[in-house]
Amino acid sequence: MVKKRTNIFLIVLLALLLILEIILVKNNYFATIDDFIYHHISKLINPVNTAIFKFFSFFGSEIFIILFCLLILLFSRKKSRGVGFVFILLLSVLFNQGLKLIIARDRPTINQLVSESNYSFPSGHTMLITVIVALFIFYLWQEKKGSKVKKIILTSILLLFALLVMLSRIYLGVHYFSDILGGITASLLLLSIVYYYYTFKHKVPYFPKNKK
């Protein structure tokens, strides 16, 4: 369980980090590392890898998120948890779109293997998959059932899955590395704020009752 002071510290730290990333993006200071990372990932481009990365990219798409939310609401054993999960995902979408409109960074002009028309920073796929995986890991470790080894294995699989979704966006030529970085930071900031609000302000069944 995260203590209140630690939670506040994380919120401030992540907010400052996101602001710094936005400043660096707006002033094009990420250009060298963005180009370097894409240059090496683009060496992997071939029909087989493209099909694989398109598959992983699907798990951050609008269609998947809609289906995922419906499944969560219909089949979640704990309805309050399911509603909370969907609510946080919707907040993530709104936060992402708001940041994109404010920052207005154009998509990469490199070889795009799929079509995207909206702004680039931060990556929406990254934000959504980060939120999904982070919540799954959070709930996994909240459960008293199951061995620690099994939880570590499942956590590793979830993190690897999230990483592949993120890498797919760079591989497909629709995001810079800095978009991915911004997406991770923004989603973790959102999760930290939600955790603080529902744990220390308005306690709900799907968050632990921490002491102040």
Please tell me the predicted confidence (pLDDT) of residue 29: 94
pLDDT band at residue 200 under the 50/70/90 scheme: confident
168 residue type, one letter = S
Share the mean pLDDT of the chain. 89
Distance CA 5, CA 65 (A): 33
Angle at 125 between CA 116 and CA 180, to 5 degrees: 95
Please tell me the predicted confidence (pLDDT) of residue 141: 85
Residue 71 clears pLDDT 80, i.e. is over it = yes
Tell me the DSSP string of 78-144: SHHHHHHHHHHHHHHHHHHHHHHHHH-PPPP-S--SS---S--SS-HHHHHHHHHHHHHHHHHHH-S
pLDDT band at residue 203 under the 50/70/90 scheme: low
Q: Give CA separation, 6 vs 11, 106, 185, 188, in Å.
A: 9, 36, 17, 14
Please choose, from the candidates 119, 97, 98, the residue with its C-alpha nearest in 3D space to the C-alpha of residue 108: 119
Say which residue, 197 or 41, is predicted with more confidence. Answer: 41
The least confident of 11-20, 55-64, 163-172, 176-185 is: 55-64
| Tokens, residue 136 | 């799954």
pLDDT band at residue 140 under the 50/70/90 scheme: confident
Q: What is the mean pLDDT of residues 117-123?
A: 91
pLDDT band at residue 211 under the 50/70/90 scheme: very low
Distance CA 93, CA 23 (A): 22
Q: How many CB atoms lie within 10 A of CB 188?
A: 20
Distance CA 49, CA 186 (A): 28
Q: Assess contact for 57 and 120: CB atoms under 8 A.
A: no
Distance CA 163, CA 168 (A): 9
> With b meaning 16 or more CB within 10 Å and e meaning fewer, what string describes 126-156?
bbbbbbbbbbbbeeeeeeeeeeeeeeeeeee
**Hunting for tokens 């207005």 — which residue is that?**
104
Q: What is the pTM of this model?
A: 0.89
Distance CA 81, CA 73 (A): 9
| Tokens, residue 168 | 């797919």
| Tokens, residue 66 | 């809609």
